Amino acid sequence: MLWAGFGISFDEKIVKILLQTPDEIRHQIWKELSRASNDRHHAWRTPVLATACPNGLVNARTVILRTVNMIEGQLQIFTDARSPKITEITAASNAVFVFWSSKLSWQLRVRVTISVLTAGPIADALGSA
Ligand SMILES: Cc1cc2nc3c(=O)[nH]c(=O)nc-3n(C[C@H](O)[C@H](O)[C@H](O)COP(=O)(O)O)c2cc1C
């Protein structure tokens, strides 16, 4: 399980609906991220997560957005502890999520710092499942 705290880059989205201020844009983005974590049909449910490899190369893969914490500015995904991405994230915690929704016509590119959580209520529940 990974926790990702992030800051949103406003220059990366294409906004069709009328949003006037950075605060309105930020609010709408968080709203859509929250929707995506609860709606398996939302296009932002399956972002691409790009990471740096220890050998200097880069890697990217589709993941499922599991939970969104608007207050803490955190996204959560789950993965297998043996996954190569764990090695990459442990070596370099900076990563990027890319979300695309044709319905919204929005691309969201989010720079994140990722922490790997192997303990806690959710990790414990997953481990014992
Ligand atoms: C629709 C879709 C959703 C996926 N969701 C996840 C996920 O939530 N977590 C995960 O670890 N891998 C997920 N995968 C698999 C990854 O894309 C990837 O193949 C796998 O995690 C191995 O990546 P790695 O070698 O970089 O660790 C998903 C793949 C697809 C096609």
Burial class from Cβ neighbours inside 10 Å (0-12, 13-18, 19+) for residue 36 reads buried
Name, in order, each residue with C-beta under 8 angstroms of 2's C-beta and a sequence gap of 6 or more. 76, 77, 78, 79, 89, 114, 115, 116, 117
Domain boundaries, the chain: 2-116
Distance CA 127, CA 73 (A): 25
pLDDT greater than 70 at residue 10: no
Please work out whether the CB of residue 40 comes within 6 Å of at least one atom of ligand 1. no
Relative to the CA of 60, which ligand 1 atom is closest? 26
Q: In what order do the strands lie in the sheet with 48-52?
A: 58-62, 48-52, 94-101, 106-116, 2-8, 74-77, 67-69
Sign of the Cα pseudo-torsion (119, 63, 75, 98, in order): positive
Q: What is the pLDDT of residue 103?
A: 94
Ligand 1 centroid from CA 48, angstroms: 9
The phi, psi pair for 85, rounded to 5°, reads -65, -25
Q: What is the pLDDT of residue 4?
A: 55
CB atoms under 10 Å from CB of 14, counted, come to: 10
Ligand 1 atom nearest to 64, measured from its CA: 8
Q: Give the closest residue (by CA) to ligand 1 atom 11.
A: 79
- pLDDT at position 29 over 70: yes
pLDDT tens for residues 88-110? 999 999 999 999 999 999 999 99
Class of the domain covering 2-116? mainly beta
Put simply, whether the predicted model's pTM sits higher than 0.75 gets the answer yes
